Amino acid sequence: MVKRLLEAGHTVTGYNRTKSKAQWLLDAGMKWGDTPRAVANVADVTLSMVANTQALQAVTSGPDGILAGLSRGKIYIDMSTVSPSAIRELARQVEAKGAEMLDAPVSGSSITLEEGKLSFMVGGKREIFEKVLPYLQAIGPKATYVGGHGLAASMKIATNLSLAVQMLAFSEGLLLAEKSGIARETAVEVLLNSVMASPMVKYRGPFVLQMPAEAIFNVNMMQKDLLLALEMGRQLDVPLPTTAITNEMLTAARGMGLADKDFAILFEALARMAG
């Protein structure tokens, strides 16, 4: 994301807990901020993306946090997948500083980003969304305004639950075909060229033949999103039966020692259960 902003001609100041991981971006022209506060101090628009609600609170609060570096006229955009209620509380704190906030989680992965197909869903004030649209479109071509603070986070959770559910359904069909006598490679080819092959299934389906060395989105991260979805379901009285079952399969994968694998490892967990 930073690389795309730099390529679009924007001045970017960045921070990461481990500076060495950002060295390639520093070499590409990114400036360095020693703390999240230092970044927010110098930036007109500050963007963050972290693993979960607890990490978001850690990077925004305290004397070195983003909130401490915000002032009137600045804009803060969080792109994490976190609790909608946490986003609304954070937006209240940002506005108390005279600044504005948007929640703008993304749909896609590192693969989608590299292909230039990443999309944003954005919550907050529409006029602020319009103001920052050029920055978002420098990263990904599509940004959709969905409503007030926290609603983009809700939309992202509603989207992500389907990814794991689809992967489990794909695994079920594949194992049924394989155990009936069809070669796994052949069954994968048929499924990926069938009507059920969503964009996610098309790029993650081949993982059942060769898992990536490094997870794009691991079991723990996906289960975090499913637990957020189940929490929302209870709050809104929306039954989520396939989400609940898929969540249990992710727990099974963790119990098998597969937590650090991409969530496509759902296939391996189900395969072990199938003998």
Query: Which residue in the list 97, 156, 224, 261 is annotated as catalytic?
Result: 156
DSSP track, 161-207: HHHHHHHHHHHHHHHHHHHTT--HHHHHHHHHTSTT--HHHHHHGGG
Annotated catalytic residue 31: no
Secondary structure class of 103 (helix, strand, coil) = strand
Q: Do strands 13-14 and 31-32 pair parallel, antiparallel, or not at all (unpaired)?
A: parallel
| Residues forming a β-bridge with 45 | 75
What lies within 8 Å, CB to CB, of 18 at 6+ separation is none
76 closest CA partner among 51, 38, 103: 103
CA 55 to centroid of chain Cα atoms: 14
Q: Please, is 197 exposed, middle or buried when counting C-beta atoms within 10 Å of its C-beta (0-12, 13-18, 19+)?
A: middle
Query: Which residues are tagged catalytic?
Result: 156
